Amino acid sequence: MASIGWVLLLFLAHLHTLLSTSIAHHAIGGNLTHHPVPFLCHPDQAKALLQLKKSFSFSRSTTRLSSWRNGSDCCLWEGVACDVSSGYVTVLDLNNRGLYSHGLDPALFNLRSLRRLDPSMNDIGGNIPPGFERFAFLTHLNLSNLGLYGEIPIGISKLVSLFSLDLSSHLDNQYICDPGPNNYIGAKYLYKSSSLDTLVANLSNLRELYLDSVDLSCSGEEWGIALARSVPFLEVLSLAYCGLHAPIHKSLSRFGSLIVVNLQGNIFMAPGLFPVFFMDLINLTTLQLPSANLEGSFPPRSFQSKNLRVLDLSDNPYLSGHFPDFSDTSSLEILRLERTNFSYARPMSSSNFKSLKNLSLDGNLSVDFLSSFGGLGSLCQLDLALVDSVSELGSIFSWIGHHKSLTSLKLFGCNFSGITPTLLVSNFKTLKSLRMVSCKLPRLVLHSVGNLVGLQTLEMTGCTTYGSMPSSIGNLTNLRNLCINHCGFLGPMPAAIGKLTNLRNMYINDFGFSGPIPDAIGNLTNLNAITIIRDPGDQVSGSSIPYAIGQLSELEWLVLQHCKFSGSIPTSIGNLTQLMMLDLSENSLSGEIPSSIFNLSVLHYLDLSSNKLSGPIQGFDNKVNSQLETVRLRNNTLSGEIPPSIFSLPVLRILSLSDNQLSGPIQYDNTASQLKEVDLGYNALSGSIPEAIFQISSLEHIDVSSNNLTGSVDLSHFSRLTELTSLYLSHNKLHVTDDAADNPLAGVTKLGLASCNITRFPRLFMDLNLIWFLDLSCNKISGDIPNWIWASWRNSIVYLNLSDNMLTGMQLTSDVLPFANPLQVLDLSFNILSGRIHMPNLSADILNYSNNKFSSILPNWAFYLSETRYFSVSKNNINGHVPLSICSNSSWLQVLDLSYNNFSGSIPACLIENVPLMVLNLRENHFEEMLPSNITTRCALQTIHLHGNKIVGKLPRGLSNCSCLEVVDFGGNQIVDTFPSWLRGLPELSVLILRSNQLYGTIGDIVEDAESDECFPSLQIIDLSSNNFSGNLKPEWFKLLKSMMEEFNSPGKIITHDISSFATFYHDFTEITYKGTYVTFRNILTTLTAIDFSNNRLEGTIPETFGRLVSLLMMNMSHNSFTGKIPAQLGSMADLESLDLSCNQLSGEIPQELTDLTFLGVLNLSNNDLVGEIPQANQFSTFNSSSFEGNAGLCGPPLSKSPCGATPNAGNIYKSSRHVDVALFLFVGLGFGIGFAAAIVAKWGRVGRWFTATGRAWRT
Quick one: pLDDT at residue 187? 37
For the segment 524-547, what is each residue's pLDDT rounded down to a tens digit? 999 999 999 886 655 445 689 999
Mean pLDDT of the chain: 85
**Angle at 689 (CA atoms; ends 688, 695), nearest 5 degrees:** 145
Tell me the pLDDT band of 28, cut-offs 50, 70 and 90: very low
Tell me the pLDDT band of 916, cut-offs 50, 70 and 90: confident
Q: Alpha-carbon distance 106 to 134, whole Å?
A: 12
Q: Alpha-carbon distance 1091 to 1117, whole Å?
A: 8
Handedness of CA 269, 275, 279, 280 (dihedral sign): negative
Q: Alpha-carbon distance 1244 to 1053, whole Å?
A: 10
pLDDT of 756 > 70? The answer is: yes
SS3 for 782-814, per residue? EEECCHHHHHHCCCCCCEEECCCCEEEECCCCC
597 alpha-carbon distance from chain centroid: 26
Quick one: pLDDT at residue 525? 93
Mean pLDDT of 600-612: 95
Q: Alpha-carbon distance 722 to 1016, whole Å?
A: 60
pLDDT of 620 > 90? The answer is: no
CB 347 within 8 A of CB 323: no
Task: Please list, in sequence order, all residues whose beta carbon lies within 8 angstroms of the beta carbon of residue 137, skipping any fewer than 6 positions away.
Answer: 90, 112, 113, 114, 115, 161
Q: Does pTM surpass 0.85?
A: no
Query: Among 637, 683, 731, 685, which residue's Cα sits nearest to residue 1241?
Result: 731
Alpha-carbon distances, residue 12 vs 3, 83, 89, 139, 411 (angstroms): 16, 10, 15, 16, 53
Quick one: pLDDT at residue 350? 63
Quick one: pLDDT at residue 965? 94
311 or 1229, which is more confident: 311
Q: Alpha-carbon distance 649 to 653, whole Å?
A: 9
- Long-range Cβ contacts of 338-341 (<8 Å, 24+ apart): 338/314, 338/362, 338/383, 338/385, 338/412, 339/314, 339/315, 339/385, 340/313, 340/314, 340/315, 340/316, 341/317
Query: Among 1082, 1254, 1083, 1081, which residue's Cα sits nearest to residue 1092?
Result: 1081
**CB burial string 429-448: b at 16+ within 10 A, e below:** eebbbbbbbbbbbbeebbeb
pLDDT of 744 > 60? The answer is: yes
Q: Alpha-carbon distance 358 to 410, whole Å?
A: 11
Quick one: pLDDT at residue 906? 95
465 alpha-carbon distance from chain centroid: 28
The residues with which 384 forms a beta bridge, in sequence order, are: 361, 411
Q: Alpha-carbon distance 36 to 843, whole Å?
A: 77
Quick one: pLDDT at residue 348? 65
- CATH topology for 5-166 is 3.80.10
Quick one: pLDDT at residue 913? 83
Quick one: pLDDT at residue 1066? 63
pLDDT of 1065 > 80? The answer is: no
Query: Among 1148, 1156, 1190, which residue's Cα sits nearest to residue 1173?
Result: 1148
| Of the ranges 442-446, 1044-1048, 1165-1169, 1231-1235, the best mean pLDDT one | 1165-1169
Cis peptide before 1175 (omega within 30 of 0): no
Torsion of CA 848, 854, 857, 863, to 10 degrees: -10
CB 622 within 8 A of CB 644: no
Task: Please list, in sequence order, all residues whose beta carbon lies within 8 angstroms of the beta carbon of residue 362, skipping any fewer than 6 positions away.
Answer: 337, 338, 339, 340, 383, 384, 385, 386, 412, 413
DSSP H helix total and E strand total for the chain: 14, 85
The residues with which 1233 forms a beta bridge, in sequence order, are: none
SS3 for 643-688, per residue? CHHHHHCCCCCEEECCCCEEEECCCCCCCCCCCCEEECCCCEEEEC
**Angle at 91 (CA atoms; ends 85, 97), nearest 5 degrees:** 145
For the segment 339-392, what is each residue's pLDDT rounded down to a tens digit? 999 888 766 666 678 899 999 998 778 888 888 888 888 999 999 987 666 678
Quick one: pLDDT at residue 484? 93
The residues with which 953 forms a beta bridge, in sequence order, are: 975
Query: Among 1241, 1206, 1212, 1207, which residue's Cα sits nearest to residue 1224?
Result: 1241
pLDDT of 184 > 50? The answer is: no
For the segment 276-287, what is each residue's pLDDT rounded down to a tens digit? 999 999 999 999
The pLDDT > 90 percentage for the chain reads 58
Backbone angles phi, psi at 82, to 5 degrees: -125, 160
Backbone angles phi, psi at 401, to 5 degrees: -65, -20
Alpha-carbon distances, residue 456 vs 107, 379, 460, 477, 558 (angstroms): 46, 18, 14, 8, 21
Mean pLDDT of 1041-1064: 58
Task: Please list, in sequence order, all residues whose beta carbon lies within 8 angstroms of the beta carbon of residue 1195, skipping any fewer than 6 positions away.
Answer: 1172, 1173, 1174, 1202, 1203, 1204, 1205, 1206, 1208
Q: Alpha-carbon distance 787 to 20, whole Å?
A: 78
Mean pLDDT of 830-842: 94
The DSSP line for 225-263 is: HHHHHH-TT--EEE-TTS---SPPPGGGGG-TT--EEE-
Q: Considering only CA atoms, give the Rg of the chain.
A: 38
Query: Among 683, 659, 680, which residue's Cα sits nearest to residue 668?
Result: 680
Q: Alpha-carbon distance 511 to 489, whole Å?
A: 8
For the segment 1105-1161, what is each residue's pLDDT rounded down to a tens digit? 999 999 899 999 999 999 999 999 999 998 899 999 999 999 999 999 999 998 898
**Angle at 697 (CA atoms; ends 692, 698), nearest 5 degrees:** 115
The residues with which 127 forms a beta bridge, in sequence order, are: 149
Q: Which of 555-559, 839-843, 1234-1238 has the lowest mean pLDDT?
A: 1234-1238
For the segment 117-167, what is each residue's pLDDT rounded down to a tens digit? 999 999 887 789 999 999 999 999 999 999 888 899 999 999 999 999 999
- Long-range Cβ contacts of 452-455 (<8 Å, 24+ apart): 452/425, 452/428, 452/476, 453/477, 453/478, 454/429, 454/430, 454/478, 455/431, 455/479
The residues with which 458 forms a beta bridge, in sequence order, are: 434, 482
Q: Please tell me what DSSP assigns to residue 972.
A: S
For the segment 759-781, what is each residue's pLDDT rounded down to a tens digit? 999 888 888 889 999 999 999 99
pLDDT of 1235 > 70? The answer is: no
Q: Beta strands 708-714 and 99-101: pairing type?
A: unpaired
**Angle at 293 (CA atoms; ends 258, 386), nearest 5 degrees:** 110
Tell me the pLDDT band of 1078, cut-offs 50, 70 and 90: low
Query: Among 348, 361, 447, which residue's Cα sits nearest to residue 400?
Result: 361
Q: Alpha-carbon distance 1087 to 1021, whole Å?
A: 10
The edge-to-edge listing of strands for the beta sheet with 1193-1195 is: 1000-1001, 1028-1032, 1097-1100, 1121-1125, 1145-1149, 1169-1173, 1193-1195
Backbone angles phi, psi at 1203, to 5 degrees: -75, 170
Side chain identity at residue 541, one-letter code? S
pLDDT of 850 > 80? The answer is: yes
Task: Please list, in sequence order, all residues whose beta carbon lies within 8 angstroms of the beta carbon of residue 947, skipping any fewer than 6 positions away.
Answer: 923, 924, 969, 970, 971, 972, 973, 993, 1071
Tell me the pLDDT band of 1015, cut-offs 50, 70 and 90: confident
CB 829 within 8 A of CB 805: no
3-state SS assignment for residue 589 = strand
676 or 11, which is more confident: 676
Task: Please list, in sequence order, all residues whose beta carbon lies within 8 angstroms of the beta carbon of residue 998, skipping any fewer than 6 positions away.
Answer: 974, 975, 976, 1027, 1028
Q: Alpha-carbon distance 347 to 372, whole Å?
A: 6
The DSSP line for 903-940 is: EEEEPPTHHHH-SS--EEE--SSEEEEEPP----TT--
Residue length, the chain?
1260
Q: Alpha-carbon distance 629 to 186, whole Å?
A: 9
Residues of the chain with CATH 3.80.10.10: 5-166
3-state SS assignment for residue 33 = strand
The residues with which 632 forms a beta bridge, in sequence order, are: 607, 656
Tell me how crowded residue 8 is: count the other CB atoms within 10 A of its CB. 10
For the segment 938-981, what is each residue's pLDDT rounded down to a tens digit? 889 999 999 999 999 999 999 999 999 999 999 999 999 999 99
Mean pLDDT of 627-642: 95
For the segment 38-73, what is each residue's pLDDT rounded down to a tens digit? 578 989 999 999 999 999 888 665 567 999 999 999
Helix (H) or strand (E) holding 614: strand 612-615
